[in-house]
Structure 1
Amino acid sequence: MTIRLDTPTGTDALTEFLLFHDEVYSYRAARWLSMVPFQLPILTGDSPFARDRVLRPFVARDGGRIVARVLAAIDRRYQQHWHERLGHLLMFEALPDTRTAVRQLIDAACEWLAAQGASAARAGMGMLDFPFAVDDYETLPAGFLRQSPAYYHALLKDAGCETERGFVDYRLVVAPQLSARWQSALEAARRNGFELVPLNQVPQRRRVAEFTALYNDAFKAHWGYTPFTVAEVADMTEALAPAGMLETSLIAYHEGAPVGVLWVTPETSFLALLAPGRALRGEEKVNFLGIGVREPARGRGLNLAMAAHAYLELAGRGYTHLSYTLVLDDNWPSRRTAEKLGAHVCANYVVYRRNFQR
């Protein structure tokens, strides 16, 4: 194997960089495809997600063929928020049996990050990147989540990475007794003076700004979080509106003040590519969920009520399974909420870190 490292530039080369994702996952009977129309503007600098970030894509080639890729990123917004000189290794993908190529690729990306002032790099968390699957490598995950193969862990560990944090994924089976529980949680929140308003009913002139401010405030202390800009949220809501995000997501108010936010994207399994004869199971047709409550409103059942609101809506549409999505291993308030909703752990995920001084 003769490895050559490149930094792709220009639309064609960057599109090849993105489409490599589809080659890696071609072995899966059910898989998500790359999102070139959304991702390409990020790499070309034309997306709101490129602002406040310095991005450098790397590919490893063997005989002209891409065998591994990664996007090195200096996220100024993250660094300012956390006061940490951290870089990010995003969009990592690799073919099997590429240990040497991946090691050279990660070395080159980390050398570049170090030259930009970073002291370490994180893989699997940051700028729309999600953690690596640990134990379920066959089920089609909720939209946006990684469908990474088992061999990634050895590749990343051999490239000098170490496990930094763990996440759990939660899922539940819809049942009448759970619907009654959700309805009770919703009614309790209303008695406590909370008003839950779907995004499509929030006036458009303030919808995105309120959502952004709420999400950032609720997640400001959440490990690894990078604050969104209004422009980024506008970009995402425009992209996800056709999937029904505005109908299932909401903002919660108390005495007229916004205090809680729920981001729910209905299942988008119709976008998945299936091998002949492969049918999706109910647990593969699930939503994506993110939930946040401002500190003064915590401990009053609002998080439970917001999720219940979405679950009742989706169950009414005929969903048989629902997702609470990813939660940090040690985020017990959120994990208890998932359990109260009737969810159970269905998969595990990890985030990796490479320290430059080892």
Structure 2
Amino acid sequence: MPSDKDYVLLAIETSCDETSVAVVRNGREVLSNVISSQIETHKKFGGVVPEIASRKHVETMTIIIEEAVREAGVNLAEVDAIAVTQGPGLIGALLVGVVAAKSLAMALDVPLIGTHHIAGHIYANHLIGDIVYPAIALVVSGGHTEIVLLEAEGKFRIIGRTRDDAVGEAYDKVARALKFPYPGGPHVDKLAQEATEEVVLPRSWLEPDSYDFSFSGLKSAVLAEINRSRMKGETPDFSALARGFQQSVIDVVTGKAIRAAKEFGARQMLLCGGVAANRGLRERLSSLCEEAGVPLLIPPNKLCTDNAAMIAAAADLKWRRGQFSSLDMKAEAIMSLEEWSV
């Protein structure tokens, strides 16, 4: 149970195509954070195949748990609680992690903490610095694009979300059009950084007061430009298209995040999720936050993509309040971040 003494959380993350286990002391000291990626497995299919992802989690789970415990230099008997991604995510993948976590919690007779995946992305920032409230979190990942207001520790309010594709999805779809392999985001980012020309593409701001996003039209605009060039017998300028696409995405997501920070009096901006590793996005948001006088926290790349250390960081919110999950907890493919608030 929570106390003033040091405590150790073992966390499991299997929401998509990474099997990850971490051991974290006192909610912030990462003793180990082992990640087994399935990218090479799914690359041939051009995206994540849920059934294959689930099977890979089953194959690697025990090995990754053992490796994480060994690397952390602790015994399982020293673990005070088991945290696991309860949702959202691929239901089959989540189930593998949840069953493993329940089994460990029962065997060790320690509490179980079902954890929200997006809360994990947000609180990955807590592993590198103190979060100051109120804060605005810009969540950008393969499956999520949201602006979240943190009014206090562990209190989440979503003020904007995508109405169609998430940023990561849009990057992957555009990458396919530009003939890049999965995952396409890093390739598009690199090409955009190297480009000397830009095809100016539309910005989807939606309603004047909206913090929501829409990227499906932008993806269609890229495809239309490619088709237009080919119909003229020209070779599409992929680098200029990559730059135009990236500039459009960055303008909209950073513009809305900064506007939210000003409207809600945020004392800090948090960048979270796999797309937070995007160099162009990091640079632009850093510049805008500096101009606005809003301190910015961005985790290192290894804490941006799905990992179990971030799940431990979020689970720590529940641990310190003694808010544990029952052993009949279910994996949730769709799960409310606001309802998960402490």
Return the TM-score normalized by structure 2. Answer: 0.25
More strand by share: 1
More helix by share: 2
Structure having greater relative contact order (Cα 8 Å, sep ≥ 6): 2
